[in-house]
Amino acid sequence: MTTASTLSATYLGTATVLLRIGDLTVLTDPALDPAPADYPAARPLRRTASPAPAAGRLPPVDLVLLSHDQHADNLDHAGREALGRAGVVLTTPEAAGRLGGRAVGLAPWESRTITAGATTVTVTATPARHGPEGTEHVTGPVTGFVIAYDGGTLYVSGDTVRHDALREIGQRFALDVAFLHLGDAHFPSTGDRAFSMSAREGAALARTLGARTVVPLHFDSWEHLAEDPARITEAFAAEPELAGRLRWLRPGVPETL
């Protein structure tokens, strides 16, 4: 008789979550540097709050899900060190080419099977777009992920705005848990153009996906993520069919989902 795998999640900050699926340990978008930290770039980033203390005591990681490698709020200096210790890194083909080593690139809807101990999961890359249409040459490619395991299916959106290609995710998969990158990211140099979902867009996507539990990510700890988390709660409360679905994770605390 096979026992279904349980799912637990520890929120470390921004888009970084430590997942435990049965015997498999997964880390998403490792941004693990302490604050304050500045990252010079075409659009400079500043970290204002450190990751949860658990980030300094990471267990061995079997799999890293990296939505993209070009922005420090998804992959920073300490995060790159974590990649080197992980069993496998799944990311975009472009990022895999830059990172080398254990990094494997997946095109949208391409899948990879990963096994640790008695647990086997299937990871499928999903569409994502890290800004308004036409900015892809600036933001670079990004990916989301669906993980199907014995006991459920979860979705990690990666840094994306809401767009039509995301509808197919809910059509292809019956999702139990959706981790959504929110924060309504804005920069002084780009005016009113957003580079991640707002609270309202996240609620609209959650309605489309149909997941029974929605976990907000990517809404804090950086200057460019300026949307008050209370607005996320308000946006979900405004959608009657999303009642009871929003789940906030306490930083550094493992929680069963």
Spell 139-155 as b/e; 16+ CB within 10 A means b.
bbbbbbbbbbbeebbbb
CA-CA distance, 83 to 48, in Å (whole number)? 23
Distances, alpha carbon 79 to alpha carbons 38, 159, 183, 194, 222, in Å: 15, 17, 21, 25, 16
7-239 homologous superfamily? Ribonuclease Z/Hydroxyacylglutathione hydrolase-like (3.60.15.10)
15-74 residue pLDDT tens: 999 999 999 999 999 999 999 999 998 678 999 999 998 778 899 999 999 999 999 999
Which residues are 153's β-sheet partners?
A: 148
3 state DSSP class of 204 = helix
Sequence-distant (6+) residues with CB within 8 A of 58 are 18, 27, 82
- Say what the pTM is: 0.94
Which residues are 10's β-sheet partners?
A: 18
Strand spans (E) along the chain: 7-13, 16-21, 24-28, 37-39, 45-47, 63-65, 88-91, 103-105, 111-116, 119-126, 144-149, 152-156, 177-181, 213-217, 255-256
Minimum mean pLDDT among 52-56, 62-66, 106-110, 214-218: which range? Answer: 52-56
Which tokens in the block code for residue 190? 């780009």
CA-CA distance, 223 to 78, in Å (whole number)? 19
Residue 133 has pLDDT above 80, yes or no: no
pLDDT for 130: 72
Strands 16-21 and 88-91: unpaired
Task: Give the helix/strand (H/E) hosting 208.
Answer: helix 199-209
pLDDT for 67: 97
Residue 138 has pLDDT above 80, yes or no: no
Domain ranges across the chain = 7-239
pLDDT for 194: 74
Choose between 164 and 138: higher pLDDT. 164
Please answer whether residues 32 and 78 qualify as being in contact, where contact means their C-beta atoms are separated by less than 8 angstroms. Answer: yes
pLDDT for 5: 85
Radius of gyration of the chain (CA): 17
Please answer whether residues 249 and 14 qualify as being in contact, where contact means their C-beta atoms are separated by less than 8 angstroms. Answer: no
Compute the C-alpha angle 247/12/44, nearest 5°. 110
Residue 3 has pLDDT above 70, yes or no: no
